[in-house]
Structure 1
Amino acid sequence: MLRAMIASRAARALLPLFFFLGLPGASCGQSALGLMPGVVNNTGNLSLRRAVLTWATQTLCTEVQKRSVPLRLRDEDPSTGRFYPTSCAAQQLPNGNLKVQLGGFGFVWTNLTRRIGFDAAVGVEYEQDFLMEGGVMYVYFRQRETTAATFTTRMIEKPATISVGGISLAPGTAMSDALGAQLLRSEIARGFTVIRGSDASMQLGLGIVEKGQRPPEPYEHGSSQKLLLLNERTEIHQDQRDYIGPLEVTGNDEALSLTLNVDGADGVDVLILPRAPTGPWLQQYATQPVPTPPPEVPRLAEAVPAGAIWRKTVPLPRGFYYLVLDNTAAAGPTQPATQAHDDRAALVSYAVQLGDAP
């Protein structure tokens, strides 16, 4: 059960991530397609459909390593971990399918082990297709064959001996890693859907999202002209944090606009740091049980109390940044309660938009 929870969450991260950001920018091309959805949706128009999917494939591995993806046990649950890709290779096969190999690292929280750090890799062949609904593109990826899957546990925060049915699931054991790999294979069989709006915003739906429908979001996008980067929920347990991103600020006159709501705990700290110093800090979090302070003074460090919706617009120079939601005493002004057997997990709903600096 424990490994099922761990590997299930890792599996949900590995494959959806490639295509969540594999269709960037170039909104003019999609707008043109939106003017002729009947032509695009025609199953006989293979050349046009393959051309669009080839365009996505060419940008896939460049984009995939710019982002991370949340891990959750079920579609409707908040995330309790995250996966960060560090390697990616994709190629179109002679049959028109897409072969992808992806590797990376991450962490996930369970009530039996607390935080677990892991490495994971997978190779998979996908059948691909898309439909248009007005100016919205629905891109479908259905698994055809999984050629390889590995899952290696690197750290367990609560290091007590763990076993299920008398079989050890301690980090690095053959049974632990084999079980994680098998569950990884079974989870990716569900496939996923990328929904790209006419405003270039992205949504990810596990499984097949029917044309015209949307996955649930914690916040409504409304009529804002800002680019919606993220709209998610995360559960951050006591002495834990979430490293969200990296998030790209594409110009020196732009800003990240944050919307947060905290429930369950007294509050969390919100930090923004550049990608370069945050990378080693994040690796440390995934491999060491005790959270450490930030490597430098954050560009933003504010306490967000529970209750009312909190908003902040942060002008930033061009570059990549991490949004860190912290429920530890090691970063930011908030000091979470440390009573024994009283884990005050913070449920954080958050949205991140990119727009002009004020």
Structure 2
Amino acid sequence: MLLRTAARLALGLALCLALLGAVCGACGQGALGVMPGVVNDPGNLSLRRAILAFATSQLCTEMQRRSVPLRLRDDDPVTGRFYPSSCVAQELANGNLFLQFGGSGVIWTNLTKRMGFDASAAVEYDHDFLMDGDTMYVYFRQRSTTAASFTTRLIEQPAAVSLGGVSLAQGSAYANALGAQLVKTEIARGFTVIRDDDGAVQLGLGVIEKGQRPRAPYERRDNGKLLLANERTEVHQNQRDYIGPLEITDSGQAVTLTIALEGAPGVDVILVPRILAEQWLQVYLTQPAPTPPPTPPLYDEPVYSGAPWRRTLPLPKGQYYLVVDNTSAAGRTQPTTYALDDRAALVSYAVEVGDAP
């Protein structure tokens, strides 16, 4: 169970997000929605492949602009993230996509507590898409995984970790080999990414039928804002979630945060520029004790259990991380420690970007 939860890092989800963003920057999604019968015709695979081919040159750039939420099971809240950092893409002679990519991540389990890791894979994908009105469903079906690696960087609670009497200590050859095999297993399930015509994206493991949607805590609002994230995350005591990068593409824009908290008295909502957040994140992936931010954050406010909390924050053009903190090392709240009681914070959040007020 330990490494299976880590293996659910689902590296292919990073690919899905990347390719979808690149595809829809290369062609008019609304124009495709005008002729769904033609686009969706089973005999027009070559047409759809030609449209997807526009994305290959931009794929790796897009991929490294996003992180991937990790869950223990498909409908569970987020308990970790994978952060892509390397990528090489190639279109094969058969029209499939070959991708080599890797990065680092973190996931929380009740056995290990926080676990930081590096992971990579080389995968051939049979990719296709269908239109549901103006909404695009992009499907990735794994054809082969020629390589996969997994290396633990941190196990916060190593003494409790064993499998069948064999130690799964941090960095051990057995743990790394088992993790690599489970990475292959998860990638083999395939992925679906759903992109609305305004650029909002949802994703899920396996094949999501056209017209269906993954679960999300908030209904989409018709307010002219781009919905960047709409998720539930579970942040345990002495842990935090680094959500991002979140991009402000133009001056005069603002980010709107909507948050509802259950299970814990309060958490801290912290906004940090990307370059500083990623320095802070690397420490979190490798050191058991959480540390304060490297410099004072742009924004820092506690959120308490009860009524939903909403703030609209004007920001300069750039990339940022939203950090949900349930530690005493950052922010203003001080989580109370109870013996044998974690009091995890269940945070439902939405992130929207639009014109500043």
For this structure pair, what is the TM-score category when the shorter chain's length is used for normalisation?
over 0.9
1:15 aligned residue? 12
- Structure 1 distance, partners of 2:220, 2:351, is 10
Deviation at 1:58, TM superposition (A): 2.4
- Structure 2 distance, partners of 1:350, 1:211, is 25
Query: What secondary structure does 2:222 align onto?
Result: coil
Query: What secondary structure does 1:51 align onto?
Result: helix
Query: Where does structure 2 lack aligned partners over 5 or more consecutive residues?
Result: none
Query: What secondary structure does 1:40 align onto?
Result: helix
- Structure 2 distance, partners of 1:100, 1:19, is 11
Please tell me the root mean square deviation across aligned C-alpha atoms, in Å. Answer: 1.3
- Structure 2 distance, partners of 1:93, 1:73, is 33
In structure 2, relative to structure 1, the CA distance for the partners of 1:161 and 1:23 (3 Å cut) is: closer
One-letter amino acid matched to 2:17? F
**TM, length-normalised to structure 1:** 0.96
Q: Deviations over 1:184-220 (max 9, x none)?
A: 1111111011111111211102110111111111100
For 1:104-253, list aligned pairs within 5 A: 104-160=103-159, 162-253=161-252
Contact 1:21 1:202 in 2 (8 A): no
- Structure 2 distance, partners of 1:123, 1:254, is 38
- Structure 1 distance, partners of 2:160, 2:128, is 46
Query: What secondary structure does 1:224 align onto?
Result: coil
One-letter amino acid matched to 1:216? R
One-letter amino acid matched to 2:6? I
Deviation at 1:161, TM superposition (A): 5.6
- Structure 2 distance, partners of 1:247, 1:196, is 17
One-letter amino acid matched to 2:20? L
Deviation at 1:26, TM superposition (A): 3.3
Deviation at 1:27, TM superposition (A): 8.5
Q: Deviations over 1:120-160 (max 9, x none)?
A: 00111000111111111111110100110100001111131
For 1:69-88, list aligned pairs within 5 A: 69-88=68-87
Contact 1:27 1:200 in 2 (8 A): no
Alignment of 1:40 with 2:39, yes or no, is yes
Deviation at 1:46, TM superposition (A): 3.6
Contact 1:19 1:60 in 2 (8 A): no
Q: Deviations over 1:283-306 (max 9, x none)?
A: 000000000001111111000001
One-letter amino acid matched to 1:16? L
Deviation at 1:23, TM superposition (A): 2.4
In structure 2, relative to structure 1, the CA distance for the partners of 1:28 and 1:173 (3 Å cut) is: closer
How many residues are aligned here?
355
Deviation at 1:28, TM superposition (A): 6.4
In structure 2, relative to structure 1, the CA distance for the partners of 1:121 and 1:26 (3 Å cut) is: closer
- Structure 1 distance, partners of 2:343, 2:194, is 35
Contact 2:20 2:138 in 1 (8 A): no
Contact 1:132 1:138 in 2 (8 A): yes
- Structure 1 distance, partners of 2:134, 2:26, is 10
For 1:24-63, list aligned pairs within 5 A: 24=21, 26=25, 29-63=28-62
- Structure 1 distance, partners of 2:79, 2:54, is 33
Contact 1:106 1:117 in 2 (8 A): yes
Query: What secondary structure does 1:335 align onto?
Result: coil
Deviation at 1:313, TM superposition (A): 0.6
Deviation at 1:113, TM superposition (A): 1.4
Query: Where does structure 1 lack aligned partners over 5 or more consecutive residues?
Result: none
Deviation at 1:3, TM superposition (A): 2.1
Deviation at 1:280, TM superposition (A): 1.2
One-letter amino acid matched to 2:19? G
In structure 2, relative to structure 1, the CA distance for the partners of 1:207 and 1:254 (3 Å cut) is: same
